[in-house]
Amino acid sequence: MSELLTGDGRTHVNSGLMRESLVSKKLIAETDKKEVRRMVPDVNMVSIGGQSIMDRGRDAILPIVDEIAKLKESHKMVVGVGGGARARHTLSIGLGLGLPIGGLARIVGGVEENNRDILQFLLAPHGGITFVKDHFQDLQLFLNNGMIPICIGQPPYHFWEPPSIEGGRLPDNGPDVGLFLMAEVIGVESVIYVKDVDGIYTDNPKKNPEAKFLAEVSAKELLEGDYPDLPVERELLRTLENARTIKSIRVINGLEAGNLQAALEGKPVGTLVYSSRYEK
């Protein structure tokens, strides 16, 4: 039982952090943990790209939907989705209107909800259901009933989106980060980003034919080296470097059949990005 302490004008609960400012570096270091507990470790987070997959329409979406439906029998999945062209249009109009970064972050998720609803509709025969923030703790109810929870990626920082580390007026935190963070708390088995390129290259392969493919790379290297363009958010890499339950992510080409299955089975497909905090 906790003991109540008084005497300095405040009522404290006698806990390890009693009277601490929680800002002290020494104290923070003492609370460090290399690993933390996982909530539902046998799940996989599958992120479907907005621009790379959804904007392509039926040619790209339907084969992925079929693959997810088939793989559902052998793998538990949470499916997340980004915004794509409409997210970019939202940001562009918002920037032109002079909206602050927190305002952009508040509105941009709206178009991801379109994509989530589309995926839910298409996956409904196979158990696709919408998975929203307030039902995060109902995850097991959905999974144990054979459902495929489908969510948006944009994290709910909304007006509280921090000023950008990368400079510029765009929010650093987008759907890649949001889905990763859900995956981190769930403590998933794997995080797979389904895009329209084979993985990560030294530059954007659609614009630079000299760009070289990377089969494995650390997030730290991608952040510190000369990589002018990436198919994932840079904040995802910073977030991965500090993560405690997830040590790597995979970026795969969803336009090629079989890649998602290979990734779920842990086979070397696409690019593996690992956190330099851990041994590979």
Partner 1 sequence: MKKDGKIWIAGIENELHGETLSSVSLRESLGKRESIKVLPEVWVVKIGGQSIMDRGAEAVLPILEELVEAKKEGVNFILCTGGGTRARHVYSLGLDLDLPTGMLARLGASIPVQNARMLQLLMAKHGGIMAYDEEFEKLPFFINSGCIPITTGMPPNEFWEKSSAEGIIPANRTDAGVYLLGEFLGAKGVLYIKDEDGLYTDDPKKDPDAEFIAETTATELIENGQDDLIVERVVIEYMQRAENIKEIQIVNGTKRGNIKAAFNGGHVGTIIRA
Q: Segment 156-185, which members bind partner 1 (CB under 8 A)?
A: 156-170, 174, 178, 181-182, 184-185
Cα–Cα dist 43/143, whole Å: 9
Tokens of 126: 């196979």
Alpha-carbon gap, residue 237 to 12, rounded angstroms: 39
Q: How far is the CB of 70 from partner 1 (least distance, A)?
A: 24
In the complex with partner 1, the residue whose CB is nearer, 224 or 265, is: 224
**Comparison of 134 and 279: residue with beta carbon closer to partner 1:** 134
189 binds partner 1 (CB under 8 A): no
Using CB under 8 A as the binding rule, the residues of this chain from 207 to 226 that contact partner 1 are none
Residue 102 vs 127, nearer CB to partner 1: 102
CB 172 within 8 A of CB 233: yes
Q: Contact between 1 and partner 1 (CB under 8 A)? A: no
Residue closer to partner 1 (CB basis): 73 or 226 = 226
Asked if 241 touches partner 1 (CB under 8 A), the answer is: yes
Return the structure tokens found at 170: 């765009």
Pairing label, strands 12-13, 43-48: unpaired
Which one of the spans 83-91, 124-132, 211-219, 256-264 is the region binding partner 1 (CB under 8 A)? 83-91
Site residues for partner 1, window 105-124 (CB under 8 A)? none
SS3 142: helix
DSSP state of 268: -
61: left (phi over 0), alpha (psi -120 to 50) or beta: alpha
Is residue 37 close enough to count as binding partner 1 by CB under 8 A? yes
Which of 23, 125, 209, 212 touches partner 1 (CB under 8 A)? 23
Out of 148, 243, 251, 263, the residue judged to bind partner 1 by CB under 8 A: 243
How many chain residues are in contact with partner 1, going by CB under 8 A? 89
Q: What is the largest CA-CA distance in the chain?
A: 70
Question: Least CB distance from residue 265 to partner 1, whole Å?
Answer: 26
State whether the Cα torsion 82-88-90-96 is positive or negative.
positive
User: Where in 121-160 is the site for partner 1 (CB under 8 A)?
Assistant: 136, 155-160
CA angle 229, 258, 40 (to 5 degrees): 80
Contact 141, 200 (CB under 8 A): no
Rule CB under 8 A: is residue 257 a binding residue for partner 1? no
Q: Do 227 and 203 touch, CB atoms closer than 8 A?
A: yes
Phi/psi for 43 (5° steps) reads -110, 155
Q: Which amino acid is at 248?
A: S
According to the binding rule CB under 8 A, does residue 101 interact with partner 1?
yes
CB 267, min distance to partner 1, A:
26
Report whether 80 contacts 47 (CB < 8 A).
yes
Judged by beta carbon, residue 24 or residue 144, the one nearer partner 1 is 24
Is there binding between residue 270 and partner 1 (CB under 8 A)? no
Select the residue interacting with partner 1 from 1, 3, 11, 209 (CB under 8 A): 11
